[in-house]
Amino acid sequence: MQTQVQKESIENAIEQAKLFGILKYLPDGELTHAPFSLSPYSISTSDLQEMIELTPYFSELMINVSQDWGFLDETLSPISKTDPFLKMLLDLREHEVSQSRQLLVQRNDFFLIKDDIGKGGHDSSSSGEDTSASALRQVEINTVSASFPFLITQLTRLHQHIFEQIIPNNPLKPVVDSFAKAIKDYGSTDAIMLLVSQPAESNRFDQLGLEQLLWDEYKIQTVRKTLTEIYENGSLSEGHLILAGKKVAITYYRAGYTPEDFSTSCAIKGRQLIEASSTIQVPDLAMQLAGMKKIQQVLTRPEILSNFVSEEISKRFRKTFVGMHSLDEIIETPEGEISASEWASINPEKYVLKPQREGGGNNYFGKDIPKKITEMKREEQDAYILMEKIKAKTHQAILVVNGKVEKHTSVSEIGRFGICFAENGVVQSNEDVGYLVRTKAKNVNEGGVCSGFACLNSLAKA
């Protein structure tokens, strides 16, 4: 049972969360605090260091892949035959006016697993706390709409009030600085940032925090519009995208990564208008495509990865990769050589089935995998990939969800934010700028904070 002190300190934390703007909308429009954890996730210095060091290399990988349209087209075109969303994205290329400047704001997500090779440590399973040696496993890299720079910066501040040993974290400032730099480089004084939003956005406050700091620090205005509104209100003038009478120097996508964002022809035309202008898109079309799950799967093949990174970096990347397969790929199994789809259908608990989608809630887990595979037409299979399920280390966590406290044996997904500027594909500056931690009950498959699956968390020194 909770003691009076615990109850008061939890209530206090909830009020502080609201004060700090750690907020989200519920589906009925009610405002509440975003779910957060009161159990910072411990990480060893070596795991943390490796993640931080890898960030710029992963950003560079995405830039390099984005420069290779032939590779993107060859890998993704077969999928576009059965996936109208991907076809629409690939077709946008016809409208694109290429820009010499690129800005990537990405987040690379990992779990920590128990290191089988073992560097010592022990599993004190009685406490549910797994303190054995660990290793990184990549979940995915988000090249579009890498969310939470504001909310997580605020959550880290909140945790620093309550706990010792919190690892400092402020991705908000560098993300905003990068926007300001890109706007300055664009060369027009009085230019604005366009934030492309979804019509109903539950994670509004994460965006507002960015807009607010961009104004406070740089007096740069943000105009926030849906793709449809951009079509209706936007225009082109001498190559510039004009909205609200101002030049749009950068277009920052917090939408445009799901088919629902393109459900009307006006929305598609809105994106085409952006493509046809000289605004710097964060990310541009090719960078968005480089972050597709199919690309991630193909890049697990060393001979392909080596086209984009050095052998040394390829080795370091591959240590963090789990097996990923196309469904028709023949793989070696204890039962002999069979197709990945057959093997995953017999062992669904070992895999995650993923379509070419972002934003949470699209993947298939467990029993739903064989069911989905059987339902699919042969040609649809190309649009999915199979990824080995990562068995993340567990820890006990107190989670606060919409005012209620729960205690769960949990897993934590750590994302590293990376910012990379490039000029015609040549990297100009490239850095790791902080982290996101999302903690969720062990038996929950998906990971979204605003969809209510996961709780914001911070890192603590182990």
Residues of this chain that interact with ligand ADP (CB under 6 A) are: 109, 139-140, 322, 352, 354, 358-360, 362-363, 387, 389-390, 413, 445-447
Which residue, 356 or 430, has its beta carbon nearer to ligand ADP? Answer: 356
Which residue, 271 or 389, has its beta carbon nearer to ligand ADP? Answer: 389
Nearest CA-CA partner of 227 in 200, 207, 257, 197: 197
Strands 123-124 and 455-457, sheet pairing: unpaired
Which two three-digit tokens encode residue 318?
């591959």
How near is the Cβ of 358 to ligand ADP at its closest, in Å?
A: 4
Which residue, 96 or 358, has its beta carbon nearer to ligand ADP? Answer: 358
Which two three-digit tokens encode residue 399?
């989670």
Burial of 210 (C-beta count, 10 Å sphere; 0-12/13-18/19+):
buried
Return the number of other C-beta atoms located less than 10 Å from residue 377's C-beta.
7
How near is the Cβ of 263 to ligand ADP at its closest, in Å?
A: 18
Strands 364-365 and 384-388, sheet pairing: unpaired
Using left for φ > 0, alpha for ψ between -120 and 50, and beta otherwise, residue 376 falls in beta
How near is the Cβ of 243 to ligand ADP at its closest, in Å?
A: 28
Which residue, 204 or 325, has its beta carbon nearer to ligand ADP? Answer: 325
Which two three-digit tokens encode residue 279?
């605004």
370-373 contact pairs (CB < 8 A, 24+):
370/344, 370/345, 373/327, 373/341, 373/344, 373/345
Which residue, 139 or 249, has its beta carbon nearer to ligand ADP? Answer: 139
Q: Three-class SS of residue 1?
A: coil
How near is the Cβ of 417 to ligand ADP at its closest, in Å?
A: 15
- The b/e string for 112-122 (b: 16+ C-beta within 10 A; e otherwise) is bbbbeeeeeee
Which residue, 254 or 269, has its beta carbon nearer to ligand ADP? Answer: 254
Which residue, 33 or 354, has its beta carbon nearer to ligand ADP? Answer: 354
Q: Is the peptide bond before 283 cis (omega within 30 degrees of 0)?
A: yes
Which two three-digit tokens encode residue 280?
């710097």
How near is the Cβ of 215 to ligand ADP at its closest, in Å?
A: 29
How near is the Cβ of 293 to ligand ADP at its closest, in Å?
A: 7
How near is the Cβ of 447 to ligand ADP at its closest, in Å?
A: 2
Q: Alpha helices, DSSP H only, in 20-146?
A: 45-66, 69-80, 84-91
